[in-house]
């Protein structure tokens, strides 16, 4: 786990030096004290991590590489290229997104989280109520979902990534299509 304080750190003191815990016969032994001092150097980062373990499970405080590890725990939809603040936000909001997974709200939130813009979603389904039986069915007979992502530069968006995000967040039974197009504000420019 590179880039973190979980390896040896020069000058990091241990709160529990082993030399003080040795039996009295070794308390004055120079070799024994130097030997366990070497172990203190190895154990100090371990104590440091254990003393701040709670912070490792907070996406806002965890080291960057541990945020990526947490993302695998909570099923955050990340491809690994996102900036660190976005990865932290994705981990923090993953549980809430799982609650609405498979709904229009959940799909919109997942796409917005991944690409930074809200999508346009059109779906074939519908719901209605009627006091009379055999009324017309809402929606269209062919099931389908279409997601449009409007951005300033469509070439900057990976359509395969959009397809993967929509595929993971859509209702499981619903076939879908995606498209990336120019945003309305940049069409007139």
Q: Which residue has the tokens 């154990």?
A: 43
Q: What percent of the chain has pLDDT over 90?
A: 33
DSSP assignment string, 33-62: HHHHHHHHHHHHHHHHHHHTHHHHTSTTTS
The long-range contacts involving 105-110, CB below 8 angstroms and separated by at least 24 positions, are: 106/169, 107/147, 107/166, 107/169, 107/170, 109/169, 110/77, 110/165, 110/166, 110/168, 110/169
pLDDT score recorded for residue 119: 96
Residue 79: pLDDT band with limits 50, 70, 90: confident
pLDDT score recorded for residue 2: 41
Residue 120: pLDDT band with limits 50, 70, 90: very high
Note the pLDDT tens digit of each residue in 140-155: 878 889 999 999 999 9
- State which H helix or E strand residue 128 sits in: none
* Model-wide pTM > 0.85: no
Strand partners, 182: 151
pLDDT at residue 189 above 90? no
């Amino acid at each position: 786990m590179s880039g973190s304080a979980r390896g040896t750190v020069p000058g990091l003191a241990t709160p529990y030096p082993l030399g003080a815990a040795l039996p009295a016969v070794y308390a004055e032994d120079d070799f024994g004290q130097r030997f366990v001092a070497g172990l203190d150097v190895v154990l100090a980062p371990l104590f440091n991590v254990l003393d701040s373990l709670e912070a490792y499970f907070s996406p806002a405080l965890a080291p960057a590489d541990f945020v990526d590890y947490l993302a695998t725990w909570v099923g955050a939809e990340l491809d690994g290229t996102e900036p660190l603040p976005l990865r932290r936000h994705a981990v923090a909001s993953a549980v809430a997104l799982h609650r609405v997974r498979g709904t229009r709200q959940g799909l919109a939130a997942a796409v917005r989280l991944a690409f930074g813009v809200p999508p346009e979603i059109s779906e074939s389904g519908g719901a209605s109520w009627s006091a009379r039986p055999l009324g017309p069915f809402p929606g269209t007979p062919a099931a389908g979902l279409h997601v449009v992502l409007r951005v300033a530069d469509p070439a900057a968006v990976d359509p395969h990534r959009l397809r993967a995000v929509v595929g993971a967040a859509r209702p499981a039974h619903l076939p879908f299509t995606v498209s990336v197009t120019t945003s309305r504000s940049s069409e007139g420019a």
